[in-house]
Amino acid sequence: MNPEIRHKLAALGVELSMDLFAVTNALFAELQPPLPEGLRVTRDHAYGPDERQRLDVFAMRGLEKAPVLVFVPGGGFVRGDKRSPTPPFYDNIGGFAARNGMIGVTMNYRLAPAHRWPAGTDDMALAVDWLRANIAQFGGDPERIYLAGTSAGAVHVGSYVALRDARIAGAVMISGGYDMSSIDHNDGHLAYYGDDPEIDRKASTTQGLIASDVPCLFTICEFDPAQFQKQAASLCEAWARAKGVFPRMLWLRGHNHQSSTVSIGSSEDSLGPEILRFIADTAR
């Protein structure tokens, strides 16, 4: 990463705040290329009846049986959107997918407190079902769907893989949480899970992820908050204890909780190339 950008991200600290998100977005917005020439973007396909159950599809013409990269945004379970108020996010991820021979998808899901656990898991399943039934018309391969979620989006992706019969080719969990009993019980957590320890136990995904046959890529950022660092460390420990090997875990130097995704497709992209390697490896 550019030393100047790394210095600016380090100066923001690790605690999540509106200032951290705004400054990080501004740093990377100017580094994002325009969407590819000839890209067809169709918005707000309904994968369920709720107004939040919508997804956007980014597809170049002429593709056949292309991998499908689905981005699931974060937002602490109570906010977040596939199109942030600060352009070009998260169209940058749809554009990245298109430039690399894939179909890009960005999706919304229902939010707490109106929709509590397991609403996010249910929405992952509904979105995958919709994609399997419809993505071929855009040039995508229904058998090569990859879910990539960040923060709360990563929690929902992990929950789908661990607790459901996940019908996907792979999953990427970016700065996620896996043990709901030990993660910080902040306002967003309580809005989505409530305060019942039994729900936390049922919603935890560590053992289900270890047992799943779905290939997984995990990430943690140098400037992620402590709770995400601890979650990544605990997952690695449990994984190694169960399987005798380390999980596919990336440590993203210089990045914070927001920059790993808003940098995708830019000149400072550390995560995008690793996602491409992961997809290529799982296709072998």
For the chain, list the domains and their CATH numbers.
3-282 (3.40.50.1820)
Strands 103-107 and 216-223: unpaired
Q: Residue range 28-57: average pLDDT?
A: 97
Model pLDDT for residues 215-270, shown as the tens digit of each residue: 999 999 999 999 999 999 999 999 999 999 999 999 999 999 999 999 999 999 99
Q: Among candidates 82, 158, 170, which has minimal Cα distance to 121?
A: 158
Q: Which residue shows structure tokens 């919603």? A: 203
Model pLDDT for residues 202-224, shown as the tens digit of each residue: 999 999 999 999 999 999 999 99
Task: Please say whether the beta carbons of 206 and 238 come within 8 A.
Answer: yes
| Token output for 284 | 């072998």
- Single pTM value for the model: 0.97
| Residue 37 CB partners (closer than 8 Å, separation 6+) | none
E strand intervals along 188-248: 216-223
| Residue 197 CB partners (closer than 8 Å, separation 6+) | 181
Report the alpha-carbon distance of residue 152 to residue 33 in Å, rounded.
Answer: 27
Rounding to the nearest 10 degrees, give the CA dihedral for residues 249, 252, 257, 258.
Answer: -120
Q: Which residue shows structure tokens 């021979």? A: 101
Rounding to the nearest 10 degrees, give the CA dihedral for residues 211, 174, 58, 97.
Answer: -90
